[in-house]
Copies of this chain bind each other. A is one copy, B any other.
Amino acid sequence: MSGFHEIQYGRLQGKQVGVGVLGYGFMGKVHANGYVKIPYSFDRPAAWPKLVAMCGRNREKTADTASRFGFKGYYTTWQDMVQDPDIDVFDNCTPDNLHAEPSIAALGEGKHVICEKPLAMTVEEAKQMRDAAAGAKGKHMLCHNYRFFPAVRFARQLIEEGRIGRIYQFHARYLQEVGHDPGTSIEGTWYAAGTKSGVLLGIGCHIIDMARFLAGEITTVSGIVKTYNPRRALSGGGEETVRADEDNIALVEFESGAAGTLESSGVSTGRKNRHTWEINGSKGSIAFDLEDPNHLHVCLAEGDPRLKGFTKISVTGGGFPLSTPYLPPGHNAGWEYGHVHALHHFLDCLVNEKPVEPYGATFEDGYRVQLIMDAVQKSSKTGERIVLDYH
C-alpha cells in the first residue's frame, strides 16, 4: 500500500462533457478558468468538463492560451470546431459582432451553446439567434454571469420568499471610467474601439438583465443616450468620430407596476467597475455593489423596530446559495466565480435534463434585452416613451 499511486484519468469525474471555447481573449480566459475550477469548487460537480479545444484565428496565441489552461488542442476556424464530435458544449467568447453566425451554426450541429453577452449587435440578429435556439436540439444559455453571484442569488431568494413584499422601485447603475478623459484615444476605450458596440451593448445589457432577473419584465422605456466626446484621437495619429454611446440612461416601468432607472456609463471618473443596484419593496429593501461583491445590504421591516436598518451580510460560507464549499465564512470569492457557477449550471442542465431558466439566461432573454436596448436608443431619438412588444 505504500509508495506512489498513479491516479486513473476519469476517477470520480462521473459524467464528462466535452468543451470547445471560441475566443482566447479576456472572456475566453475567464471561461476556461471557470471550467478548470468546476471539479474542485463543488462537493459533487454535476459534470466534469473535458477541455477539448480552443479556437482563434491567431495560431500562436490560441495555442499558447489553450496550453496555459490545459486544453487538449486548438482550432483556427470555428467552422472546424463546430464539427468536432468530442465537443458537446460550444462556448462562444468572441466579440459582439461574432455572436450570431458561429452560435447558430453550432446549434445547427446539435451542440449545446453558451454565448457571451450581449446576444447580438441588432434586434434582427438577436431574433435569428433566438429562433435558431428555439428550434435546436441543444440547450442554449446567454452567459449573464452576475446572476450567479451569491449576493444576487440570495437577493432573488429573499424576493421569492416574499420578504421584501411588493417591489416599488428598482435602480441600477453600471459605471466605468475608461473614457472619462476627452484626451483618451479611441483605442483606449473598449466601447468605441473594436466592434464599437458602445456602453449600452457592452455593459448596459448586464443591468437590464439584472432588472428582469430581480424585478420582472420591463414594459416601458424612456431613454437618453449620450456620446459626450464625439471625436477622439487615434492612437496612431489623427482622430475619428465616435459612433458608440458613452453613457445611457433608461427610465423604465415593470409589469408589476414598479418603476426604476437603468444606467450604464463608460465616462464616470473614479468608478472602475461599479455595478450597483437597489430594490425598494413594501416590506424591505436590498442593495448591492459589485465593488464589494461578497456583501449584500438588506433591510427588512420585521421584528424590533429599533433594530431596523440595512444589515451588511457577508454572503460567504455555507447557508447561502452558490457558496464555494472549500471557502470558509469571510473568505471572499473573486469575480471569476460568477462564471464558474454559470458554466457549472449549464453543465448541470445538460447532464441532468434541467431547464436553463429561470436561473440562467436563455437566448429568449437575450432577445428581450436586445429589444429593450433598442428601445432605449429609439426613445433617445424621438423623446417618446416606448411600450415594449415581445413576440
Measured between alpha carbons, how far is A301 from B307 in the docked complex, in Å? 13
Judge whether B273 and A7 touch: CB under 8 Å: no
> In the complex, which residues of chain B have a beta carbon less than 8 angstroms from the beta carbon of A173?
171
- Asked if A336 lies at the interface with its beta carbon under 8 angstroms from chain B, I say yes
CB pair B332–A305 under 8 Å, yes or no, is no
Q: For the side of the interface on A, what is the size category?
A: 35 or more
Chain B residues within 8 Å of A223, by CB: 251
Which residue of B2, B26, B292, B313 contacts A292 across the interface (Cβ within 8 Å)? B292
Provide the bound-state CA to CA distance between A11 and B222, in Å: 54
What is the chain B residue whose CB lies nearest that of A10? B67
Given A59-B1, A73-B7, A263-B261, A268:B285 Cβ within 8 A: yes
- Residues A251 and B222 in contact in the complex (CB < 8 Å), given A6-B73, A7-B66, A12-B68: yes
Which of the segments A28-36, A89-97, A367-375 contacts the partner chain? A28-36
Other than A226-B259, A334-B334, give 14 A-B pairs with Cβ distance below 8 A.
Answer: A2-B75, A2-B77, A6-B73, A11-B63, A12-B64, A164-B269, A168-B267, A169-B265, A180-B280, A181-B301, A269-B281, A269-B300, A270-B309, A311-B312
Q: List 19 A-B contacts (CB under 8 A).
A: A2-B77, A4-B73, A26-B326, A33-B37, A39-B68, A169-B268, A180-B281, A182-B282, A249-B260, A267-B282, A269-B282, A270-B309, A271-B330, A272-B316, A273-B328, A291-B294, A308-B313, A312-B312, A384-B385
